[in-house]
Amino acid sequence: MNLSSRTIASLIALLVAGALTTFAWIAPTLPFRQAVLATGITVAACFLLVYLSFEALIFREINNIYAGLENIKRKEFRRMSNKFLFRPEPLKRMRDEILEMAERKQQEIDELKRLQVLRREFLADVSHELKTPIFAAQGFLHTVLDGDMDDEFLRQKFLNKAATSLDTLDALVQDLVTISQLEKGVVRMRRQSFDLVALVEEIFEQVESKATQRSVTLELFPPALQAQALLVLADRNRIRQVLINLIDNAIKYGKDGGHVTVSLIESSKTVRVAVRDDGAGIPKQHQNRIFERFYRIDKSRSRDSGGSGLGLAISKHIIEAHKSVIRVRSEVGVGTTLEFKLPKPRGPRTAAEVSAPEA
């Protein structure tokens, strides 16, 4: 039978009143000892009835509050329903639980606000990055189509510039698609055993012209590695993409006439890859954000000088897909080091057994 709180309170009040009336009626007719005993029994009965009123009224209402909280957040309050009856300090426990839930909700709100800000920044950045090559190509093509130039050389030059802008746009879109696929887990890493030293030397040859323009020296450390193979187990094409991004950034942001060093430190099970430059360094407030899409430390840099800001974001996802983490160590005025680890093959293999690169 489910009685209301008012009915229960009325019944308990009647019982207490009946006990006290009975005591007042009988006590004057009893001897002293029996009167003392009757007094004790009456006080105990009244105390028990009052305690039961607290249990039935206050504690039951507390459990109702917990039941409401459970409906709001069933998973978080699953343990609370109907478990706090007869427990000490139920009001304090309820207050602590409510404060804890409020704190969690505030954290969720703060996180949602942060993500909202990042979403707005991303939309603004991606629209800017897309419209820059689009407007450039549009301007060149309309100039040619309007027939304002009779010089065949100038017309061809404008068409080449339009094609370059469209190629830039295509590369940007491909990078966005790659990031989306990596985040969704669509891209699978095709792990194979390959020589990491040979890969680094291949990349050095590819970026040598950029390094020469800034008089930057490319170095492999330790130098003895140039005469031997160092095998790792990873997706060669993806690791190549990561190293190109890191080395290209090191050349771009390092100082003129400086050094870019790629260190390959071997341990029993892994190889630590570190790309270091001696440039201006990255302030601490930016170090946690350099792997975000389109994030630039210097907002004034143009796309040509600063890149789209997608290279490090792609590199981060590729390294995480290899069950590793890419870390940054930087000091202003000294330089920056980006490093990650790759596993070594389990079985012993020679350089001649290394799998050929994927097409």
Domain boundaries, the chain: 5-75, 98-184, 191-343
Using CA atoms, how far residue 155 sits from 140, 144, 160, 164, 165, in Å, is 9, 6, 9, 14, 15
- How many residues does this entry show for the chain? 359
pLDDT digits (tens, 9 = 90+) for 55-111: 666 666 667 666 666 666 555 544 544 454 445 555 666 677 777 888 888 888 988
pLDDT digits (tens, 9 = 90+) for 299-352: 544 444 445 668 898 899 999 999 999 999 999 989 999 999 999 998 654 443
Lowest mean pLDDT among 113-127, 230-244, 260-274: 113-127
- Say if 98-184 and 191-343 have the same CATH topology: no
Beta strands in the chain (DSSP E): 192-195, 217-221, 231-234, 259-266, 270-277, 327-331, 335-343
Query: Is 98-184 assigned to CATH 1.10.287.130?
Result: yes
* Tokens of residue 205, six digits: 């040859």
Which band of pLDDT confidence, cut at 50, 70 and 90, is reported for residue 358? very low
Query: What is the average per-residue pLDDT within 196-203?
Result: 94
Model pLDDT, residue 81: 47
Query: What is the average per-residue pLDDT within 117-135?
Result: 74
191-343 is classed in which CATH architecture? 2-Layer Sandwich (3.30)
